A and B are shown apart, each in its own frame.
Chain A
Amino acid sequence: MTLFIEQCLNGLQFGLLLFLLAAGLTLVFGIMDLVNLAHGSLYMLGAYFAATFAAWTGSFVFGAVLAIVATLLVGMALEVIAMRRLYGRDHLDHVLGTFGLILFFDEAVRLIWGAGGLSLPVPAWLNRSIEILPGVQYSAYRFAIIIVTLAVAAFLYILVMRTRVGMLIRAGASNREMVGALGVNIKLLYTLVFGLGAALAGLAGMIQAPILTVQIGMGENILILAFVITVIGGIGSIRGAFVAALLVGFIDTLGRAFFPQILVELLGRQAGSTAAPALSSMMIYILMAVILIVKPQGLFSANSR
C-alpha cells in the first residue's frame, strides 16, 4: 500500500512537471498556431541558466528566479527575432524552422558551456526524504516540486480565467482574426505569450535539473510527451493540458511500476520482462489514440468551447 501511494506521488509529480512544459506549448500552438519544436531547447536553457546562476549566487532559490527571468527574456527575443517570420506559414515551415533552432541552441550551449553538461545540486534542506504520511517516506525535493507546480498551475488558472490578459489569450485561442480586428495589439500579445511559454519551459527544466542532468538535448525526449499532452488535452486549452498531463504522468509511472509484474504473471518471467518495458512505454500513445477516436479535438478543445 505504501508502495502504491509512493508511486501515485511519483505519477503526480511527473504529471505536474509535464504540465509546465505542455502549458507553454499549448498556448503557443493554440493562440499563435505555431508548432514550436524548439520548446525543448527553452527547457534546456532553463536548466543551464539555473545551474549557472545557482553556482554564481550560491543560492538555489535565487538561481532559480534568475533562470526563469532569463528564459523569459530569451523567449521574447526569440519571438521577435525568429518566430515572427513563421506566422501564417505552413506547418511544415514551422517544423523545419524550429528544428533548425534546436540545432542552433544545442550548438550554442556546447560553445558556451561545453559538451559535458552541468550539475545543479539540490539544496541541503531539500536533499532528504520526509515522512508525508505515517510510514510513507518521500523525497523532499519531489514533494517541493508538487507544491511549486500546483502553485504555478493555480497562478496560470487565475491569469487565464480572471485577468484581462487572460481574456485576450482565450480570445486569441478561439478566434485570432477577430481579436486582431478588434484593435488588440496582437504582436505584443504574441511576444508575451511566447515569453510566458518559454518561462514555463525554463521553470520545468530548472525544476527537473537536480533529478535528471543538465545536458545538451535534454529537452528532446520530454518534448514528445509534451506534444502528446497537447493533443490529448485539446490544442490551446490550459485546463486540457492540466488534465492530460496528470493522466499521462499517472499512466506512465503506474504503468512502469505495476504493469511488468502483471505481464510476468500472465506470460511468464522471460517473455513478460522483455515485453513489459516496450508495452508500458506504449500505453500513453494507446491512450492518445483512444482519445483521438472518441474526441478528435482533444478533451477540452479551445475552439469548440
Chain B
Amino acid sequence: MQKTLLAASAALLLAVSPAVSPAFAQQKSVKIGFVSTFSGPVASIGDDMRNAFELALDHMGRKMGGLPVEVIYEDDTLKPEVGKQKAEKLVESDKVDFVSGFIWSNVVYASYKPIVDAKTFLVIANAGETRLAGENCSPFIFSTAWTNDQNPIAVADYMNQKGVKSVYLIGPNYAAGKENLAGFKSAFKGQVIGEDYTTWPSQLDFSAELAKAKASKAEAVYMFYPGAAGVQFLNQYAQAGLKGSIPLYTTFSIDSLSLPRQKDAALGVISALQWAADLPNDANKKFVDDFKKKFGSEPSFYAAQSYDAAMLIGSAVAGVKGNLSDKAAVQKALEKADFKSVRGDFKFGSNHYPTQNFYMQEVVKVGDNYTQKTIATAEKNVPNPHAAKCSMK
C-alpha cells in the first residue's frame, strides 16, 4: 500500500515538475501575433493563412515546447498605416513573443520597425520586400517565403531555356510590383519590348495595357497581379483575344483561391513557386490532406508558407525548451529550422531567408477541377540573392 502511494506521488511530481521548474516560471504561454488581411476583397487570402496557421497548431497538439499557444489575429485592411498600428499594438500592449503573417510588401515594410525595435521575432509568411532581406535585414527577421524578385527570376530563366525572344511586362505600381518586374528583367535574356505599371490596388480595368501589349507583337506577356486582380487580368486577357495567341507567364497571380474563379482563362498559364500541392514529401501530403479535410478547399501557397511559419516558431520554442527570454538562443533555434517543411528540406541562408528550389507549374484541368501541375524544376537550392547586402546587425 505504501509502495503504491509512493509511486503515485512520484509520478504526480514528475508530471507537474516542468510547470514548477524555474526556467518555466515566467513563461506561461507562447503569444503569437498574426497580421494579415481579413477584410475586403482579399480577405480570402488572410483566411487561408489563418486556416493553415491553425492547422499547424492542431498538428502540434496546440502546444509549443510544452506551453499552450495563444494567437492574436489582426487585420491590416491592406493598408500600410493600419498594419503598423496593429504591429505596435501587438508588441507594446499584447507583449507577444513572435509576430507572423504579412501578405503585402508595403505593409510589412511599414510595420517591421516597431517589431524589431521591441526585440520581438518577426516570421514573415509571404511579403517579399527585398530590403528586409538585404540592407535592412535584422537578427529578428525571418521569412518562410521568398523575396519578390526570386520567383520572377525563375520564370525568366525558364523562358530563356524555352527560347522566348521578346516579352511585354505588366504589373501593379507598388513595392512588390516593381521588385517583381525588376527581378524578371534582371534575368531575362531576350528583349523587353514594353512595360506598364498600373495604379494599385484601384485600377481593375487593363484594356489599355492589353491593347498595347497586343500591338507590341511581343512573343510572350509576363504579368504579376496577386489576389482578385489576377482573376480580372486573366478574364480580360481572354476577352481581348490574347489568350491562345500570346503565351502568358506569371508569378503569384494564380493560386487555389483564385483558380476556381479563373477557370478556363487560366488554362496553360505558367508560373513559378517554391512549393506545390503535388510535391512528394510526407509533411506536404499530411498538410494538403488535412487542410482539404478540415476546410474543404485546396491550400494555397499562402497557406503553405503560413503552415511553415507556425512549424518554424514551434520548433524554435521547443528548441529553447520554452525559455523565450533568452533572445540569442531563440534566434539560434530559429536559424536551425529544425522542422518538417511542406516544401521538403528547409534551410536558411545567412540573411534568414530560405535557400530553396523553384518549380514551374502549369494550370491544367482534371475532370471538372482546375489545378496547378508541376511541369519542371526550374532551379535547385537557390540562395536568396540579397544575402550579400545583409550585414545582420
Contact = CB atoms under 8 A, between A and B. Distances in A.
Contact of B239 (A2, A127, A274): A127
Contacts of A3: 211-212, 215
Q: How large is the interface on A (under 10, 10 to 19, 20 to 34, 35 or more residues)?
A: 35 or more
Nearest to A209: B235
Contact of B238 (A116, A118, A127, A216): A127
A119 B41 CA distance: 13
Interface string B216-258: 0000000000001001100110111100000000000000010
A281 B199 contact: yes
A278 interface: yes
Contacts of B231: 117, 119, 213
B139 to A, nearest CB: 33
A149 to B, nearest CB: 15
Contacts of B39: 106
A256 B210 CA distance: 11
Contacts of B261: 116-119, 213
A10 B40 contact: no
Interface stretch (A68-76, A83-91, A137-145, A228-236): A137-145
Nearest to B209: A256
B47 interface: yes
Nearest to B181: A273
A273 B169 CA distance: 12
A212 interface: yes
Contacts of A116: 44, 257, 260-261
Interface string A108-141: 0010000111110110000111000000010101
A217 interface: yes
A115 B44 contact: yes
A257 B212 contact: yes
Interface string A206-217: 000011110111
Contacts of A142: 207, 239
A211 B208 contact: no
A260 B207 contact: no
Given A10-B208, A212-B204, A137 B241 contact: yes
B235 A129 contact: no
A121 B241 CA distance: 15
A211 B203 CA distance: 12
Residue in B43, B204, B211, B232 with the greatest tally of chain A CB atoms within 10 Å: B211
Contacts, number: 110
A253 B204 contact: no
Interface in A272-290: 273-274, 276-278, 281
A7 interface: yes
Contacts of B205: 10, 14, 211-212
A218 interface: yes
B88 interface: no
A11 B379 CA distance: 43
Contacts of B241: 128-129, 137, 139
Contacts of B207: 10, 13-14, 139, 142, 253
A277 B198 contact: yes
A210 B44 CA distance: 20
A249 to B, nearest CB: 10
B340 interface: no
Contact of A139 (B40, B204, B215, B240): B240
Given A115-B43, A127-B239, A6 B203 contact: no
Contacts of B201: 221
Contact of A122 (B43, B173, B199, B239): B239
Nearest to A225: B202
Given A116-B257, A211-B232, A216-B41, A221 B204 contact: yes
Interface in B48-85: none
A178 B238 CA distance: 53
A121 B263 contact: yes
25 contacts: A10-B211, A117-B44, A117-B228, A128-B241, A129-B240, A137-B241, A139-B207, A139-B241, A141-B239, A210-B235, A211-B239, A212-B205, A212-B232, A213-B235, A215-B228, A216-B40, A216-B41, A217-B41, A253-B208, A254-B208, A256-B198, A256-B208, A273-B197, A277-B173, A278-B173
The 9 A-B residue pairs with the shortest CB-CB distance in the complex, in nearest-first order: A129-B241, A119-B261, A10-B207, A257-B208, A277-B173, A115-B43, A221-B202, A3-B215, A256-B208
Interface of B: 39-41, 43-44, 47, 173, 195-199, 201-205, 207-209, 211-212, 215, 228, 231-232, 235-236, 238-241, 257, 260-263
